[in-house]
Copies of this chain bind each other. A is one copy, B any other.
Amino acid sequence: MRVILPSTTISDVARAAQVGVGTVSRVLNNHPAVHPDTRSRVLAVIEALGYQPNPHARRIAGGRSYTVSIMLPMVEAEFYTRLLTAMEETLSAQRYDSALFPLLGRARLERYLSSNRLAYQADGVIMVTYDLASLFEGGRLPTECPVVLVDGYSDRYDCAYVDNYLGGLLAGRAAAKYPGELYVLSLEDDPEGLFVNRIFQDRMRGLGDGLAEAGKRITANYLCALHYRGGQQAAERLFREAGRPCTVFAAADLLAVPVLEEAERQGWRVGRDIRVIGFDDQPWASAQGLTTVHQPVELLGQTAAQLLLERLDGLVGPARSVRFEPELVERRSTLG
């Protein structure tokens, strides 16, 4: 990796390019009023010197720091890793950097959110999954900078989300066609009760309605923690209590895997004795032959980043929301 002296400043560039600092600044900020020749000369010097503007100075001077804060839960790594990667790619294409602030509890959250703290010293904020604004009086984060919510719905902020109700509905309608009882693995409540996660509630509501259309209902709901082991513990109980044939809806692919594996262990034929429907369509779901509700995770991330970038470019107006429709992907786990 090339090492660059961190001490190069805008006036070094100006001097080397034989222009004023104002002009360098204009080039840096893509101001149109710069002669093409001057611009390219300055750019050449910037390149040669490996100059990078100091984000703090930019911010202090009333410009942008080209920095966004992302506040995200520290669970279920895979989903968030995908989302993060997508957001960071979109942001960095516009030369924005991002820093993460993990949602690890109320005390830490309050620290982040107290005005003027680091998390707010960015040009924009992306909240992932949780609409933290609801924790504040007035229902708004105490910040002037644009805020976007991803993987969650809000009517006060721009947001990009998947219609989890519809996803549940699709799963419910599919499940209603299959013989036998229907069992569900869904998420237990957040022990801290701090964050309100509507996502899983929506999936369950959709599922219930999808079943109801066909006059069916859930036989039992196994609540579990959102990790493989949680799913496995639920699966073990399920196999003790369920008869075949039956259908299982797992509110996340992660929870469906142990069900498939337990079925194999118990000698139940997946797709006949037991049908399994997941939610997410993680990259590995296809190889597992798991029928599931597809969520466009990367698209979600790109969209959220895009919404924020537009605000950072000065767009004003009411909150926009981009809704994605999930799709049922049928595979071996329901097709025998």
Contacts and interface: CB of A to CB of B under 8 A. Distances in A.
A58 to B, nearest CB: 9
A223 to B, nearest CB: 18
A194 interface: no
Nearest to A5: B115
A52 B116 contact: yes
Nearest to A58: B56
Interface in A5-60: 5-6, 50, 52-57, 59-60
A81 B74 contact: yes
A123 to B, nearest CB: 11
Contacts of A313: none
A237 interface: no
A99 interface: yes
Contacts of A135: 1
Interface residues of A, number: 57
B114 A85 contact: no
B55 A118 contact: yes
Contacts of A77: 74-75, 77
Given A55-B121, A85-B104, A116 B6 contact: yes
Most chain-B CB neighbours within 10 Å: which of A3, A59, A77, A114? A3
B104 A101 contact: no
A227 interface: yes
Contact of A99 (B85, B99, B136, B142): B99
Contacts of A144: 6
Nearest to A85: B104
A316 interface: no
A232 B120 CA distance: 42
A111 interface: yes
A88 interface: yes
B59 A116 contact: no
A182 interface: no
A33 to B, nearest CB: 26
A318 interface: no
Contacts of A100: 99-102
Interface in A103-119: 104-105, 108, 110-111, 113-119
30 contacts: A1-B135, A1-B137, A1-B142, A3-B138, A3-B142, A4-B116, A5-B115, A6-B115, A6-B142, A6-B143, A50-B115, A54-B121, A55-B117, A56-B56, A56-B60, A56-B65, A69-B99, A74-B77, A77-B77, A81-B104, A84-B102, A84-B104, A88-B108, A92-B111, A97-B117, A97-B118, A98-B118, A99-B101, A227-B228, A232-B232
Interface of A: 1, 3-6, 50, 52-57, 59-60, 65, 67, 69, 74-75, 77, 81, 84-85, 88, 92, 97-102, 104-105, 108, 110-111, 113-121, 135-138, 142-144, 227-229, 232, 257
